[in-house]
Amino acid sequence: MIMDFRKLFTLGFAWIAVLSITFAETMDIGVREAPPFSFENRGAWDGLSVNLWSSIAEDAGYQTRFIEYGSLQELFTALEKGEIDLIASSVSVTSEREAIYDFSHPFLSSNLAILARADSTNKWWIVIKSFISWPFFLALGSLGLVLLGAGAA
């Protein structure tokens, strides 16, 4: 039920974005190769963003023409020049971009992480393990005691 609510919520905000701007019957949508959000599949555009937009456009009665660009900067430039009506691809929302563009609500949120093999030959794992060792905590505790002693004097 929660997933259905989220989908409905996202589609609702996308509808608001569609209805708040007057478009021609055929909309030009900027895309770039950014799997799994937008990618070419056997001559047609596919992906999470492309499929979401296609569903919204179908419900609203719009025809869609996807126009490929090589980079995100090229997409932004095309949007600013009016060559495309919107972008259906992976685009991060930043405060700088929000000052210039109208974004839908994000439909995917992700956190970054570091992944390393667990064996001892991996150099990243050796570095990480050194910070969670007893000698590190003892050194940190000793430094804390020195700072406390210096502050009390």
> What are the tens digits of pLDDT across the range 27-46?
999 999 999 999 999 999 99
Residue 38 lies in a domain: yes
Residue 13 lies in a domain: yes
* Beta pairing class for 44-46 and 39-41: antiparallel
Q: Are residues 47 and 11 in the same domain?
A: yes
The amino acid sitting at 134 is W
| 8 A C-beta contact, residue 125 and residue 118 | yes
DSSP, collapsed to helix, strand or coil, labels residue 122 as coil
Q: Are residues 39 and 87 in the same domain?
A: yes
Asked whether the predicted pLDDT for residue 25 surpasses 70, the reply is yes
Q: Are residues 79 and 46 in the same domain?
A: yes
| 8 A C-beta contact, residue 113 and residue 107 | no
Q: Are residues 93 and 127 in the same domain?
A: no
Residue 7 lies in a domain: yes
Residue 114 lies in a domain: no
Residue 109 lies in a domain: no
> In terms of residues, how long is the chain?
153
Q: Are residues 42 and 86 in the same domain?
A: yes
The confidence score (pLDDT) of residue 118 equals: 64
> Is the bond leading into 135 cis (omega within 30 degrees of zero)?
no
Rounded Cα gap, residues 112 and 105, in angstroms: 20
Look at residues 98, 115, 141 and tell me which one is the last residue of a structural domain.
98
Residue 116 lies in a domain: no
Q: Are residues 87 and 137 in the same domain?
A: no
DSSP, collapsed to helix, strand or coil, labels residue 131 as helix
**Count of CB atoms situated within 10 Å of the CB of 85:** 20
Note the pTM of the prediction, 2 decimals. 0.58
Any idea which residue has 């021609």 for tokens? 24
Q: Are residues 70 and 130 in the same domain?
A: no
Q: Are residues 43 and 8 in the same domain?
A: yes
| 8 A C-beta contact, residue 94 and residue 37 | no
Q: What confidence tens digit (pLDDT) does each residue in 80-136 have?
A: 999 999 999 989 888 999 999 999 888 887 776 766 666 656 676 666 666 677 776
Read off φ and ψ for residue 73, nearest 5 degrees. -60, -40
What is the residue range of 61's domain?
2-98
Number of domains in the chain: 2
Rounded Cα gap, residues 18 and 56, in angstroms: 8
